[in-house]
Amino acid sequence: MKKGNPDLSHRAVAEKASRKVECVPKIDGFIEKIRKLIETILDPDVPLWMKGLAAAALAYFLLVPDLIPDFFGIPGYLDDAAVVCAAVANLGAALRRHNSAKHPKERRKP
């Protein structure tokens, strides 16, 4: 069985998410979290497991048949928002650790 390139599949998920974001009701901060997941997927320096977590959260956002279907409007995006927020929270901490390990001599400015 031939394995696909994970970066290509992650890029496809990111592109589809970018298109769907245009249709999402303006829920405060939700679109910015989607964009953070997309940036995580597209960043070549991010480890594959982090890209996978971001892609999984985006896939949940993109799938119509989830816990509350998206065609219900704002209530349909609440479960998507919960998954996206959980992924961003987990990725945020992991990305901070990853970046500090990658750049140990750089200090944050107050």
**Residue 62 falls inside a structural domain:** yes
Distance between CA atoms of residues 77 and 71, nearest Å: 9
* Per-residue confidence (pLDDT) for residue 54, from 0 to 100: 92
Exposed e or buried b for every residue in 70-81, given b needs 16+ CB within 10 A?
Answer: beeeeebbebbb
> Domains in the chain: how many in total?
1
Whole domain around residue 54: which residue ranges? 25-102
**Residue 5 falls inside a structural domain:** no
**Residue 56 falls inside a structural domain:** yes
* Per-residue confidence (pLDDT) for residue 2, from 0 to 100: 46
* Per-residue confidence (pLDDT) for residue 87, from 0 to 100: 92
* Per-residue confidence (pLDDT) for residue 23, from 0 to 100: 61
**Residue 108 falls inside a structural domain:** no
Distance between CA atoms of residues 110 and 107, nearest Å: 9
**Residue 52 falls inside a structural domain:** yes
Report the predicted TM-score, pTM, of the whole model to 2 decimal places: 0.67
**Residue 108 — left, alpha, or beta (φ > 0 → left; ψ -120 to 50 → alpha)?**
beta
pLDDT tens per residue, the chain (110 residues)?
445 555 556 677 677 776 766 666 566 677 888 888 888 888 888 889 999 999 999 888 887 778 888 778 778 778 888 888 899 998 988 888 877 777 666 555 55
Number of H helices, E strands in the chain: 4, 0
* Per-residue confidence (pLDDT) for residue 53, from 0 to 100: 93
